[in-house]
Amino acid sequence: MTLRTARRPAPKLALLCLICAASLLWTAQARAFSLDEVTAQARALMNKPYVAPVNNLPPEFSGMQFADYQKMQPRTDRFEWSDLKTPFRLGFYHQGMQFNSAVRINEITADGVQEIKYDPERFDFGGLAFDKTATRQLGYAGFRLLYPVNQPDKLDEIVSFLGASYFRVIGKGQVYGLSSRGLAIDTAPPGGEEFPNFREFWIQRPAPEDRQVVIYALLDSPRATGAYQFIVTPAGKDAVVDVQANIFVRGDIKTLGIAPLTSMFLYGPNQQSELRRNFRPAIHDSNGLAIHTGGGEWLWRPLNNPRQLAISSFEVENPKGFGLLQRGREFSRYEDLKDRYDLRPSAWIEPHGNWGKGRVTLMEIPTPDETNDNIVAFWTPTAPTQRGQMLQFAYRMHWTTDEPALHGADNAWVKQTFHTDNEELQANLIRRIDGSSSAFLIDFEGPALAGLSNGADIKPQVSVGDNAELLGVGIERNPAIKGWRVALRVKVKNPALPVEMRAALVQGDKAISETWSYQLPPNPPPPPPAPAAAAPTAR
């Protein structure tokens, strides 16, 4: 009986086996770090006293103006992962201005978890004059991800994490606009808002074949801690971010904001500019709040720039979606070659699982210019948020410029809202302005309307609040958009109080459009001028 010796694999096969083994080892080690590790840290942190981030900025960085801060740009030749066969690159933000405390940024690799140490050589300081020794104890304020989303040979910034728990995302053909946050705490008054911070990040190094990046974050705040997982997928029609948030409550919270969005609305056709001689018809990152309720109803609330703080609340159990949208992509709506508001994305939140009873809150804050984010929207659970709780929320974020795709084929939506003085057509065909009342023109479009004939039995369903008198309702076909236009004439009773209005299209007893839910903000008369001071009497 002869003994057979084991055959050695052929050289190419042996090499392949080694590569496969190395790949499996890398995958196993990379997956060894997960959201569970961050969750354990957040849970342990909840039971410790809150320690505020330390301001480590020297005067030459803390006193920076924004223009100087913008001069500090990452060097493209020093991007992380530049020497790897991955389409992603990782860059960093330098500390400065209000970004006065460093965040720890780690990389997850096959060898485990390694901190990415601060290195001033990663930055071009744009000719700024400062003592080079002043940067020795500084760090990174945040980071950005780059990916060739528009052209195969050109890197585009697609994700930015900078400041508190703020982050922004863009996809193909988009430019930065509105922002999101990890968590909002007591944003609505009374009381001061608390801004949680992402104090540490873990970023998984993408393999050559990966087309998404996994980011973990540890959130810290006086009344909450949290563990977050972000899976960023930039390619495709939209940029998509899948979020898992595990939140630990350190102290009772009156208003907990889940999936908060922050945007800007200065003016638009529904609230025309009080500025004079501005060539831009509209200036906004978003022009409305959309909500898809658990019961299947769609709501659309056009945004305002009110003269005083306005807070609206919409009771929603198990929401199917909500978000701040930028409806209307025609360049002619904005005419701004520099800021390209026509390319700024909408952000749509698609909850996973049942979130239970709660409400979507919209805050509209007065702003004199476009540099201030004055719009906030988030979902809040009805149940009290109390110390010691662990709350879990999962959702998908769509950063999109294809707002109609959010709706089904059996629905219609509001394309635009116009607010104007009421006009009366006289016998001589000259239109006379009636300054005592207002008119609202609401254009509806969508697949539910496109195939209907001019004689279709479509009716507007309209209601107004107690502070207004409904003078008239009209509806007509709008062939330019293959939709319908509803016209409302209302008279406000007390201008110092808001007016709530609603309108939808129905066919028979079935609603075939979303509900236009508009708030006409208060417009109190200006205070009387102060009496002139008496001229001093000569002694």
pLDDT digits (tens, 9 = 90+) for 433-491: 666 689 999 999 999 998 887 778 899 999 999 999 999 999 999 999 999 999 999 99
Cα gap 26→208, rounded to integer Å: 13
For position 189, what pLDDT does the model report? 83
Domains and their CATH numbers in the chain: 28-406 (2.70.98.10), 413-520 (2.60.40.10)
HSE at residue 125, side-chain half, CA atoms within 13 A, is 15
- CB burial string 250-276: b at 16+ within 10 A, e below: bbebebbbbbbbbbbbbbbbbbeeeee
What pLDDT score was predicted for residue 451? 82
Q: Quick check: 10 pLDDT over 50?
A: no
Selection from 392, 412, 343, 304 nearest residue 172 by Cα? 343
**Residue 534 above 60 pLDDT?**
no
Q: Check residue 275 and give its pLDDT.
A: 66
Read off the tokens for 229. 């997982």
Supply the pLDDT for residue 524: 72
Q: Which of 310, 300, 312, 289 is nearest to 361 (CA)?
A: 312
The CA–CA distances, whole Å, from 421 to 277, 424, 436, 442, 497 equal: 20, 10, 8, 14, 18
Tell me, what's the pLDDT at 527?
64
Mean pLDDT of the chain: 90
- Position 503 scores a pLDDT of 97
- In angstroms, the CA 263 to CA 375 distance is 5
pLDDT band at 2; cut points 50, 70, 90? very low
pLDDT at 539 over 80: no
Q: Taking a C-beta distance cutoff of 8 angstroms, is the pair 188, 218 a contact?
A: no
pLDDT at res. 19:
38
pLDDT score of 214 more than 90:
yes
Of 354-363, 423-432, 521-530, the poorest mean pLDDT is in 423-432
**In angstroms, rounded to a whole number, what is the distance separating the alpha carbons of residues 217 and 231?**
12
How far apart CA 39 and CA 248 sit, in angstroms, is 9
Q: Do residues 80 and 117 lie in contact, with contact meaning Cβ atoms separated by under 8 Å?
A: no
Measured over the CA atoms of residue 373, residue 374, residue 379 and residue 384, the dihedral's sign is positive
Distance (Å, rounded) from C-alpha 105 to C-alpha 258? 24
HSE-CB of 209 using CA atoms within 13 angstroms: 2
Looking at residue 129, what is its pLDDT? 87
The pLDDT, as a whole number, for residue 25 is: 45
Residue percentage of the chain with pLDDT more than 70? 89
Spatial separation of the C-alpha atoms in residues 523 and 6, rounded to whole Å: 90
pTM of the model: 0.89
Q: Is residue 29's pLDDT more than 90? A: no
